[in-house]
Structure 1
Amino acid sequence: MSSNTYYAPHGGHPSQTELLTDRAMFTEAYAVIPKGVMRDIVTSHLPFWDKTRLWVLARPLTGFAETFSQYIMEVAPGGGSEKPEQDPNAEGVLFVVEGEIELTLQGTLHVLKTGGYAFIPPGTNWQLRNRHKDAARFHWVRKHYEAVDGVPLPEAFVTNEQDIEPIPMPGTEGRWVTTRFVDTSDMRHDMHVNIVTFQPGGVIPFAETHVMEHGLYVLEGKAVYRLNQDWVEVEAGDFMWLRAFCPQACYAGGPSRFRYLLYKDVNRHMKLTLNAPR
C-alpha cells in the first residue's frame, strides 16, 4: 500500500490585511470548522500535559451532538503526559497525523508514527511522550463507554492504517473504500473511528439519514459535501460535525483522492430518557 500524507494544523495568526470571510458555520444540524480557523488564539491546554496545546473540534452539547469529543493534540519535543486521562469512564482513539509519539499502554511501550492508531479502553493505565526532535500532532477522540451486562470490555490495541486493507463499498468498483479498525460485529465496541477514502468521481449516491453522530476530519483532498439542505466545499484540514439524522452525501471531484477520519457511535440501544447517563 502506498504511503499516506495527512493535513495537520500548525497554528499561526492571520495578518491584519486578510479578509474576514471564511467557510466556518454552525447550524442546528451541522457545523463546519475550516482549517483556517485553527489558529494560535483558539488553542486550549489540559492538566498534566507538558509542552502541549490542542484544538478542540467537538464536545458534547445539549441539543446537538452529545456522545463524543475530538481534539487535535500538538505535543512539542519532550512533551506529553503521565496522567493524560482523568475520566475513568472515557475510552479513546489516538490517530497520528504528523510526527511520532511513544505510547505506553498498561506498561507496554509502542511507537506510533504517522498513520498510527491506538484504541484505549476506559480505566486503562497509559502515558504518552514525544521524544522526537519535531512536534507531534494527533487526533484524540473520547467517548463515555456504555457498558452492557454480559458484554466484556474491548481490549486495547495499536496498529497503523498502512497495515489494514481497506474494504470497498459494494457496487463502487473501489471508488469508495473504508479502512475499518474494528470488526463491525464486535459488540464490545460502542464507537468506530474509521478512515473513508473516495477516488476522484466517487460519490455517496444518496442522502444518508441515520441516528449516528459524526465527526469528519478531512485528511487529504477536497470534495463537496451535502450537509442537511446545503452543499458545502471542504478540503484537507476541515472538520465537519453532524448531529443525529442530519442528511449527508458526498461528491469527490478530484483531482486527487478525498479522505477523512470518521467517528460514529454504534451498537447500543437508544436511551429512552432524555439526559439519561451514558
Structure 2
Amino acid sequence: MSITYDAYQTFADKVVNKSRFVLDEESKKFRAFLQDSARKRKRPVGQDQQLVRARKGHAGIENSFFQPYPIEQMLAPPPDKASEGRINPKGIPCFYAADSIETAVSEMRPWIGELISVAFFRPFATLSAIDLTNDIESPLALKICMRKELPASPAEIETQLWSELNHAFSQPVSNTTEVAEYAPTQIISEWLKSWGYDGVVYKSSIHTDGKNYAFFNANLFTEGNEAGMSQIHRVGTIKIKSEPANTILSASNNRNNGK
C-alpha cells in the first residue's frame, strides 16, 4: 500500500483543524495502512506482567506513618470522573500504567519531597497490545529542520509513521493542552480497540528508559503485589533536560508552508 512519510502529520492536522468524525479518502487510506501494519507490532501482556500506577498524595497519617491511598482508590477513575487523555475522551475511563515505579512516579511530574502513592497491578488474562516502542526514529519535524535524509522506501516510511505515533502518544499532557490536540491519538486508539487490541505501549517522554501502557478496558486489572497493598514514596531527585523549542517550531512552520 503506497503511503507518504508525512501521512500521520497530515491526518492529525485534518482531525484537529478540519473534520474530526468524517474521514476523507486520504485519512481512510492511512487507517487501512495502520490496520495492516499493526499486526507486526502486536505483543502479549501476560498475567505475570506487573504494571505500576501512581497518584500524587496520600490517605493520611497513622501511627506516625504516612499511609498510601488504598488499592481501590488507585484504580482507573469511574466514567463520571474520567478526564480527557491522549488515549481516552472524557467520560470513557482508560487504565494508564507504567513498567516501573520510576516511570510511574516520573509521569506525575512531581516536586522534590512530594509524596506519591504507588500501586501494583496485573491483568486478569493475557492481553494484546500494540507496541510503539520498537520504531524509534527522530521526529519528522526535526529531520526536516536538520535536513536529514527523509524516509523513501516502504519499510522506512512504515517505521517513520509508527515512530511518529510513539512521539504523539508520549507527548506530555498539561492543564493547558487543548482538547482538540488529543483527537488524533484518541481516534487511533478507537481504531485499535475496534480491531480487537486491548491497549497500546509507548515510550515515556519523562523517564526516557521507561514505557507506559494504556488499556482501553479499565476493568481488566487486579492488585499485583503479594500484599495486595499500595505503597508510599517520597520524591528524592528530579533531572531536567531542555532543548531549543524554536528548532521544532521552525521545522513545523516550514512543513505547513510547503517548504
TM-score by length of 1: 0.21
Whose radius of gyration is greater, 1 or 2? 2
Q: Which has the higher strand share?
A: 1
Q: Which has the higher helix share?
A: 2
TM-score by length of 2: 0.22
Structure with bigger RCO (C-alpha 8 Å, 6+ apart): 2
